Amino acid sequence: MADVALKAPRPRWVIKFGSALITDGGAGLDVARINQWVSQMAAMAADDYRIVVVSSGSIAVGMQRLGWSRRPSALNELQAAAAVGQSGLVEAWERAFMDHGLRAAQVLLTEADLSNRVRYLNARSALRTLLQLGVVPVVNENDTVVMDEIRFGDNDTLAAMVANLVEAERLVILTDQVGLFDADPRENPEARFIDEATAGDPTLEAMATGPGTAIGSGGMVTKVKAAAQAAISGADTVIASGHEERVIERLVSGESVGTVLRASGDRLAARKQWLAGRLRSEGRVTLDTGAVSVLRESGRSLLPVGVTAIEGDFERGALITCVTVDGAEVARGLTNYSSDEARKIMGQASTRIETILGYVDEPELIHRDNMVLT
């Protein structure tokens, strides 16, 4: 293969489209508008942006096809509507991207996929591989199988979790509203538009309006919460109207459109705080003094060669604790190998992993991006 000069990829963006936009307020799938958005995203792809689409609308499309005017509340009816609507929804996206020479891939996720660490890593790996291949993932919640108690609840939350998953620089939430106001503009004509604020600011939820339309399941409150979730991994969030002319193109050019909720602090630091505070350790590994020094002083990944003992039974993707020979906690992070695999490769150079296991997933036991010092 001839050598070619590769330009560095532009940022990863997650762009979420609400049900009211996708279905023109419930009138049916708005293919013309989807084509307009895809045209703008194709221009981004040509400039080497990596794009993930989070698309609401499967239930809304199913409702339209079934002749239902109101969103059902019964879980089995929601599942049925999603099953009817999902194929038509993803087909519309796929055809639009194909018209621009781009490939799309359907990715259906549930909350359980992202709370189970093995499935989380698998989802992350699949999404990142698709992006590397230049494929546009079209993500939706798997509403045909999800249960109320283990669902995201709305695709704003899902979009934020996907932004965390792929470590996106920006989350764009396109809705039928122009952005965030300090009061409901439908009830208060003096409501002030919020151009920019800090994601996670507790005053934002008080400003946000309540539930969304009869078609969608979210509202401005869910978008504010989603921005706070996206900020965990360092992503800024834009809440803007999908009805705006060339809205995606204008956002890419840096034009001020909608409300920007900015992440504060360092991306990895925020993500590692989430790792430290949200997950329960399922095992622990004892490190030699060299490995402890490397982690504490250099902030590097943990390699198998620095591990002297393994405690507990855990699977790939579990949160495990790293301790000194005296039992003092040094760090915690997500393991790339199960406890059985880790026991076989501990104390060994990374170059020997494939010889010992017959395969190699990662050269590190815990990558530094998935680790927090304690």
Question: Looking at residue 144, which CATH number applies to its domain?
Answer: 3.40.1160.10
**Into how many domains does the chain fold?**
2
Provide the mean pLDDT of the chain.
85
Inform me whether the pLDDT recorded for 217 exceeds 60.
no
Residues 119 and 255 in one domain: yes
Q: How far apart are CA 249 and CA 37, in angstroms?
A: 9
Question: What is the predicted pLDDT for the residue at 306?
Answer: 96
Question: What is the predicted pLDDT for the residue at 196?
Answer: 93
Among 265, 297, 328, give the residue marking a domain's end: 265
Q: What is the mean pLDDT of residues 24-29?
A: 71
Inform me whether the pLDDT recorded for 273 exceeds 60.
no
Q: How far apart are CA 319 and CA 329, in angstroms?
A: 13
Residues 6+ apart with CB under 8 A from 216: 18, 19, 20, 56, 60, 154
Summarised one tens digit per residue, pLDDT across range 167-198 is 899 999 999 889 988 887 777 888 889 999 99
Enclosing domain of residue 42 = 12-265
Least confident of 123-132, 279-288, 343-352: 279-288
Question: What is the predicted pLDDT for the residue at 211?
Answer: 47
Q: How far apart are CA 347 and CA 110, in angstroms?
A: 37
Residues 242 and 369 in one domain: no
**Is residue 362 in some structural domain?**
yes
Question: What is the predicted pLDDT for the residue at 87?
Answer: 87
Residues 88 and 152 in one domain: yes
**Is residue 70 in some structural domain?**
yes
Least confident of 9-13, 22-26, 302-306: 22-26
Question: What is the predicted pLDDT for the residue at 325?
Answer: 95
Residues 311 and 204 in one domain: no
Q: What is the mean pLDDT of residues 231-251?
A: 93
Inform me whether the pLDDT recorded for 3 exceeds 50.
no
